[in-house]
Structure formats: structure tokens, C-alpha cells
Amino acid sequence: MSSAKPITIDAHQHFWKFDPIRDAWITDEMKVIQRDFLPADLHPILRANDIDGCVAVQADQSEDETEYLLDHAAKNDFIRGVVGWVDLRHADLEQRLQHYKKFPKLKGFRHVLQGETDRALMLRPSFKRGISELNRYGYTYDILIYPDQLGYTKEFVGAFPDQPFVLDHIAKPHIKHRYITDEWKDAIRSAGAFPNLYCKISGMVTEADWYDWKPEHFRVYLDTVVEAFGTDRILYGSDWPVCLVAASYEQMLQIVKDYFSNFSTDEQTAFFGGNAIKFYKL
């Protein structure tokens, strides 16, 4: 029987060279992250917390961003995968996907649906046409939405039963206000019923009160997600460096370490790495 240490993966983090115009979403309230965050900043943090590798996720909607992350991944072995951006509605999408097959560390794509005026953009024919191309090339898709868009997710995910999807940041519930709605719970349960949809337990501290959160504030959200997705379709993600507006990497990690401490060793191994390896084919 092998006694090798299981591989641990942070399935959601970002890199950027801060640009106040491009990165206008990083407001003065988030001043702590108005600077560059590069692989050399993250690697020692991962090592100190016994995390073997990570998945770098797009933060800007451009192919320049995809190339930027792929360049970092090529130079840093600990970056195991990249979730980039491509225009899913473009007529030349297939050509772009063929181009990206040259980069084995590119695992999937994401669009910032949470910021779209059209809240149901994911259901538009042009967007779904793009999604329909991804599975043929072996790509995953990260769903980044707010709770008001969760209702569209069921139809979206259901339309592509063979496409691997992952819901980012548990769909960003309103943790700051310290209440959980039945609507969010019901929508998460409905989404979790689709076996091709995974969920990243990430981004929770940034949706809480940045200055007055407590670990117990997250328990009901964690309970709901684990109930909906089980332990074989949930992924650990730090959302570093965005998490730094509310917590250190260690504080954020401790929330989930404590929560999962009573789960079986196999379940913890799956959450902290195994499921990410399976989903992104790392």
C-alpha cells in the first residue's frame, strides 16, 4: 500500500501586474491588493501551507491575459493549470481553441458573467454555441456568477451534460448580511443535482464582513454546498490575492481545514486536491 503524501491543490488564484485602468474593479476600499501579485509572491505561501500546486484563473477578459498566465505556468512548475479567457461568441472560436491546444497547461476558460448587464447571457444562443465547442477540445468551464444568476445555471448546465462545469465561489452568497435565503439554498441544491457541475469552496471571506467575520458565519454555507455536491465534486480554492482584503491566506485556509477536520481522510484528500486533479486533469 502506498504511503505517498496526497497532492494538494489550490484550485483558484490569480496573478496580475496591477493596472489601475484595466483593474478598475480593485477599488480604493481594496487598497491592500492594488499592487502586483506574481508567482514569486504565492509560491512561498503555498509551501508554508503544504499546498503542492495551484490553478491560475483569469482576472481580465482578454487573450492577452490567457497568454500572460500561460507564460507564468511555463516558467513555474507549481502552477499546474490555467483557466483563461477566450471570446466564446466569436466566429473564429474553433480556430482559437485549436491554437490553445498547443498549451497543455491550459485546462479551461471563464467569462465574468457576474459583471454582465445581461444577467442571462449564459443562455443566449451565441454564448451556448461557444460552450458547445469546449468539450470537443477537452476544456472545462468556470461559472462566475452572483446569486441572482443561479436560476439560469440549471438550464445552462443541463444543456451540456457532457461538459465539465465548476461553480466559482459558491455563487457569492450575501454572507456579509449574516443571513442565508431559502432561494440560495434551493438554487444550490438544484444546481448540485447535475453530475457535470462541481463547486469551488472559495471566495467566502470576501463576501463576508471584511472586518468582522467569524468562522461560524460560514458553516451554514458550507453545510449547504457539501449537502448539494457531496465530497467528490467540491474543490478547495483560496481566491488569493483577492482574499487578502478580508483575511490572510492562513486564516482563510483554516476556516475550511477546521470545517473538514471531522471528515474522513479520503474526503479531505479529495477536497484539498484530488477533485481538482480529476476535474482539470492536472
- Domains of the chain (ranges, CATH numbers): 9-280 (3.20.20.140)
Q: What is the amino acid identity at position 129?
A: R
Could you tell me where the DSSP H helices lie in 159-203? 182-192
Predicted pLDDT at 2: 52
Please check the confidence at residue 230 and state whether its pLDDT lies above 90. yes
Cα–Cα distance measured from residue 114 to residue 147, given in angstroms and rounded to the nearest whole number: 9
Q: Hey, what's the cell of 173?
A: 452568497
Cα–Cα distance measured from residue 70 to residue 64, given in angstroms and rounded to the nearest whole number: 10
The strand pairing partners of 142, in sequence order, are 110, 166
Global pTM reads 0.96
Q: Is 40 exposed, middle or buried (0-12, 13-18, 19+ CB in 10 A)?
A: exposed
Predicted pLDDT at 182: 80
**Residue-wise pLDDT tens digits, 101-122:** 999 999 999 999 999 999 999 9
- Number of helices and strands in the chain (H, E): 11, 8
Range in 65-79, 147-161, 166-180 the model is least confident about: 166-180
Predicted pLDDT at 179: 66
Cα–Cα distance measured from residue 204 to residue 15, given in angstroms and rounded to the nearest whole number: 19
CB neighbour list of residue 150: distance below 8 Å, 6 or more residues apart: 171, 184, 187, 188, 191
pLDDT level of residue 183 (50, 70, 90 thresholds)? confident
